[in-house]
Chains A and B, each alone.
Chain A
């Protein structure tokens, strides 16, 4: 099934798109756009009786491959490959996958959260910070006690606090 096509595509030429017979505007469109930069709506052009989505896909393809309308596909293997198995098709599948993943992922995030990994990694991080703060606090107490021992008589000595 050709969901995406261009004027040099075999399926296009065969006249069957989505199993339908090619309409007159397609022929006109092919003729008018041959050798020109792609344009989809021209002034006075007949409204295209096709599925809107396929227009979007076609536009996407031509925007990404300007001049592909001019290319003669026959005899250019790499170009044909690029056209049929390459970027245009990939972009479409990427979009579909991305949208699908977005919805599936956002639904699963609402329905189920696994707090295990987050808590596990976060704990290691935060405990290291808290441990350092505690060590700093102990060190500060020692400094304070040392200073007190030097300047104040009968004050508790450095070794009094070993927490």
Chain B
């Protein structure tokens, strides 16, 4: 039995500690949080929120030992298949997480509680829907006190959404640089002038940013008069934020992959055949999580969820991830988790001591990796040697379903159209030789009416 370990991201909140013991995540509730925890459980708020799927349910573990002597009790929250971060979400994922945070705040107020933080990292996705994972985020509402997390909400949600909506979808990446949300003065400078005409953005971003700058160096403490904020005023503030967030939207158009399935050289029968091959190969793999790399809108990821596998579907294109998420949200039960990820520059370890936010591979180990119609992008567009690609996949998972796309394929020809062909070793024979260094080939099947071949591979025992 391994000794329990505190999660590196759990150090700010004095109300409790999140720790891992024997692969299970527990949350220690400290004595400091006792009255808030009791109110959360007894006021009916916990029940309402968990029934509606807005808060992650937990079990109280009566005989579990806490991690420190401040422990009041230990709870075991339901498992989240894969932890994702806001800089890996599409526009609608961030928007839904924002609306959930406001809905939670509104609901909590009805039960005389309030959210003491509004961090986007407290929201995770489960079965295509956002859910709050931090049970200790609620505290007793004291009439007249402002919402301490108002500034954090604007930085974590409103500013990035506004930048993605008004400037460019890629500005969502700013969240990876600013882990505690995009500073409002920065957002205010980057946003176009016309968004000042939107009342919600004018006050919550532009005027808010000015107020922050004005008081940046002031040691003035709020007077009792300015501190006073009634419940009605608080509800009005929440409604105003909700309206500002609902007004924003993003329709992907003109992006790299948005019309990919219309542009491929696959005929309908080839597409159907490819699906059959992938389905049969997936059936031959062992149970466990599946990572679909370069998943596009998730056509093949869904084949894995159909057989009950947990799937994380990565893609570099925000339009593809957005479309995939919208589909996953509509189908509700057992859908893949679509995430934005650039394989050539994956999410690193970030934050305090480089441990607060984990790198992508630190957050889970898949059993199977799918890399369909991906290898030419890595080998040709990114000049990555085949051996490097094989080593990377072998490090990730013991099983691999991979599609080889030859040079004669029209998609590869497109990539080569504007560059010198320096890829003399990029051919199927060399591909097999290199991958045999890491894997044994279990199955191999050519896709009808196409020049592509799909392989099922098993990692050698000594590798990885």
State whether B215 touches A130 (Cβ < 8 A): no
Knowing A118-B212, A118-B214, A127-B233, say if A113 contacts B220 (CB, 8 Å). no
A37-45, A65-73, A131-139 - interface stretch: A131-139
Name the B residues within 8 Å of A109 (CB-CB).
Answer: 213, 216-217
Partner of B150, one of A123, A133, A135: A123
* B211 and A113 contacting across the interface, CB-CB below 8 Å: no
Q: By the criterion CB–CB under 8 Å, are B217 and A123 in contact?
A: no
- Chain B min CB distance to A118 (Å): 3
Shortest Cβ distance from B200 into A: residue: A130
Instruction: Give the residue of A117, A118, A127 whose beta carbon is less than 8 angstroms from that of B237.
Output: A127
List of A residues within 8 angstroms of B235 by Cβ: 131, 134
Q: Does B240 contact A (CB under 8 A)?
A: yes
Tell me whether B201 is interfacial, beta carbon within 8 Å.
no
Chain B residue nearest in CB terms to A105: B217
Chain B contact residues, majority secondary structure: helix
Do the beta carbons of A118 and B146 come within 8 Å of each other? no
In the complex, which residues 97-129 of chain A have their Cβ closer than 8 Å to any Cβ of chain B?
105, 108-109, 113-128
**Given A122, A124, A127, A128, which contacts B212 in the complex, CB threshold below 8 Å?**
A122
Residue B408, interface by CB 8 Å: no
Contact B236 A123 (CB under 8 A): no
Asked if B336 is an interface residue, CB under 8 A from chain A, the answer is no
Q: Tell me which of B154, B155, B204, B240 has the highest count of chain A C-beta atoms within 10 A of its own C-beta.
A: B240
A contact patch SS: helix
Chain A contact residues (Cβ within 8 angstroms of B): what range?
20 to 34
Q: How far is the CA of A131 from the CA of B184 in the complex (A)?
A: 23
Residues of chain B from 219 to 268 with CB closer than 8 A to chain A in the complex:
220, 222, 226-230, 232-237, 239-240
Q: Choose one: B213, B214, B220, B236; the contact of A130 (CB below 8 Å).
A: B236
Q: Is the CB of A124 within 8 A of B222?
A: yes
* A127-B226 in contact (CB<8A): no
Q: How would residues 34 to 63 of chain A score, 1 for a CB under 8 Å from any chain B CB and 0 otherwise?
A: 000000000000000000000000000000
Task: Return chain B residues, CB-CB under 8 Å to A115.
Answer: 151, 155, 183-184, 212, 216
Minimum C-beta distance from B129 to chain A (A): 28
Is A118's CB under 8 angstroms from B213's CB?
Answer: yes
Q: Which residues of B contact A118 (CB under 8 A)?
A: 151, 208, 211-216
Residues of B within 8 A of A (CB): 146-148, 150-151, 154-155, 183-185, 203-204, 207-208, 211-218, 220, 222, 226-230, 232-237, 239-240
Enumerate the 8 nearest inter-chain pairs by beta-carbon distance, A residue then B residue, closest first: A119-B151, A118-B212, A131-B233, A122-B211, A130-B236, A118-B215, A127-B233, A117-B215
